[in-house]
């Protein structure tokens, strides 16, 4: 290849200079011969490994964008292959639909990439790759990045994976993986990012899983039916900045050792269905220790009590999702706690047991643009300064009086199911009517269940629009 030829010329020129300088003609000549043989052998090994991999996975059907693969073209020019600019050794392979359709890639994961001793990064995603991950892949002692998402490989992970300095692993969307939680990852202390979304993982998370993962920064295991409780070893993952377990079958208290993770920026511990409650206990006071937190989602749990005053220290928060819990206390007390949060943009406390009136201070928060307080026990009139909200959902409460003229359809307003009286704005002829209530009488108490959770189909739809369980940082 041209890159190999350039490398050979460089090394020969260096050898010639040494020969002229030292006069050691025989020794220098022998050195050049050895360099030549080693370089040619290494290049041939790389070509053989990549070509064998290509042929084993129906290479000619990969598509025209991968047309250089398997040809005499320099391997460093093959689509998705990246080489060291000095040595021409392969350091990265990326095969995914970012380069074009790869529907033709199909077959059992072959072992040939184990021959690429300098490989650091491997991405094969969005294709019909099947079988188990070959143990030979981890003969590459430099491998630090693996993305096999949205393929059809099966588990378990080979034990050899713990022998490489892996920093990043992404297995999202591998629904054929099967079995329990991949606990072997706990034996890789170099890991910094783990993504295990949509894998249909079952069973429990080992209690010691995070014990040796002090370098872990991001962890995501969304949309898996894992059960049990959060492991107490979480407190050892002191480098965590993002932690997400959404749509799960886990129960128990939110693990208090998370308080050790003071670098946390995004914390998502929620389900997406009202019928599937997750964590229980009182609203954690220790969350106030996570001073770097900017996104918090604890919705669809069974948390009780009031919002702790310690949360006032969370000055970097931009969003709080607490819908479908059993939060009590007055809205005024919540407003007092969040008052210092000048960056807060989203506040969702719908479907709970919050009482009182809406304080003017909420409408004065400088960054707040989405306010959702539907299906609570709120009373009083609607403050005019809430008209600045981009999204405002206050349905199914006990608000009375009239709708301020400053409210308009620039806000996605949901006001139905209150005691609001005419005249109704033209944009709100349906969404603002009392429905089963009247504007002069208290509503019936049938909107509150024995657990105090108000629920109806409409508020569920609104909640789903505001609280989707997606992988927020994969």
Give the pLDDT of residue 459: 40
Sign of the C-alpha dihedral computed for residues 175, 179, 183 and 188 taken in this order: negative
Neighbours of 234 (CB within 10 A): 26
Task: Give the DSSP letter string of 85-146.
Answer: TTT--EEEEEESTTSS--TT-EEE--SGGGG-TT--EEEE-SSEEEEEPPGGGGG-TT--EE
State residue 54's pLDDT score.
96
pLDDT tens for 357-408 read 999 999 999 999 999 999 999 999 999 999 999 999 999 999 999 888 888 7
Instruction: Report CA-CA distances (Å) from 220 to 31, 55, 162, 472.
Output: 51, 34, 20, 9
**pLDDT score, position 178:** 82
> Using CA atoms, how far apart are residues 335 and 350, in angstroms rounded to an integer?
15
Report pLDDT for 18.
Answer: 59
CB count within 10 Å of CB 395 equals 26
Q: Does the N-terminal peptide bond of residue 60 adopt cis geometry, omega within 30 degrees of 0?
A: no
φ/ψ (deg, to 5) at 313: -80, -5
Query: What pLDDT sits at residue 450?
Result: 30
Give CA–CA dist 209/206, Å, rounded: 5
Which residues, 6+ apart, have CB-to-CB distance to 158 below 8 Å? 132, 133, 134, 135, 137, 138
Structure tokens at 189: 């202390």
Question: Tell me, what's the pLDDT at 142?
Answer: 93
| Segments of the chain with pLDDT less than 70 | 1-44, 100-101, 272-276, 409-411, 429-431, 433-438, 440-474
Q: Residue 367's pLDDT is what?
A: 98
Q: Are 115 and 45 in contact (CB under 8 A)?
A: yes
Q: Return the pLDDT at 188.
A: 98
């Amino acid at each position: 290849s041209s890159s190999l030829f350039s490398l050979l010329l460089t090394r020969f020129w260096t050898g010639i200079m040494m020969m002229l300088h030292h006069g050691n003609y025989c020794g220098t000549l022998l050195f050049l011969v050895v360099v030549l043989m080693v370089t040619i052998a290494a290049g041939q090994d790389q070509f053989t490994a990549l070509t064998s991999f290509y042929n084993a996975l129906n290479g000619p059907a990969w598509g025209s964008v991968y047309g250089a693969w398997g040809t005499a073209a320099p391997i460093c020019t093959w689509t998705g292959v990246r080489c060291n600019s000095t040595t021409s050794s392969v350091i990265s392979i990326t095969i995914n639909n970012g380069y074009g359709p790869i529907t033709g890639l199909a077959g059992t994961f072959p072992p040939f990439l184990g021959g690429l001793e300098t490989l650091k990064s491997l991405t094969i995603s969005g294709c019909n790759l099947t079988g188990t991950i070959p143990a030979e892949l981890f003969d590459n002692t430099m491998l630090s990045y693996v993305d096999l998402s949205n393929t059809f490989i099966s588990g378990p992970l080979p034990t050899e994976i713990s022998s490489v300095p892996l920093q990043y692993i992404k297995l999202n969307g591998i629904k054929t993986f099967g079995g329990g939680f991949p606990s072997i990852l706990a034996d890789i202390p170099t890991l910094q990012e783990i993504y295990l979304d949509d894998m249909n993982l079952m069973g429990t998370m080992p209690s010691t899983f995070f014990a040796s993962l002090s370098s872990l920064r991001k962890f995501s295991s969304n949309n898996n039916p894992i059960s049990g409780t959060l492991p107490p070893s979480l407190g050892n993952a002191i480098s965590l900045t993002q932690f997400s377990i959404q749509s799960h079958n886990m129960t128990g208290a939110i693990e208090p050792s998370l308080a050790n993770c003071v670098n946390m920026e995004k914390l998502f511990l929620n389900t997406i269905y009202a019928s599937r409650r997750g964590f229980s206990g009182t609203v954690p006071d220790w969350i106030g220790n996570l001073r770097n937190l900017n996104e918090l989602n604890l919705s669809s749990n069974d948390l009780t009590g009031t919002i702790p005053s310690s949360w006032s220290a969370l000055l970097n928060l931009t969003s709080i999702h607490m819908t479908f819990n059993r939060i009590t206390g007055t809205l005024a007390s919540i407003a007092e706690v969040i008052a210092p949060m000048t960056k807060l943009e989203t506040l969702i406390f719908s479907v709970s047991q919050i009482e009182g009136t809406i304080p003017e201070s909420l409408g004065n928060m400088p960054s707040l643009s989405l306010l959702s307080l539907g299906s609570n026990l709120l009373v009083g009139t609607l403050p005019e300064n809430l008209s600045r909200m981009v999204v405002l959902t206050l349905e199914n409460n006990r608000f009375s009086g009239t709708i301020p003229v400053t409210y308009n359809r620039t806000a996605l307003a949901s006001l139905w199911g209150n005691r609001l009286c005419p005249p109704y704005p033209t944009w709100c002829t349906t969404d603002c009517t009392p429905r089963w209530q009247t504007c002069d009488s208290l509503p019936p108490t049938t909107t509150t269940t024995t657990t105090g959770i108000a629920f109806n189909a409409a508020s569920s739809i609104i909640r789903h629009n505001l609280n989707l369980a997606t992988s927020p940082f994969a």
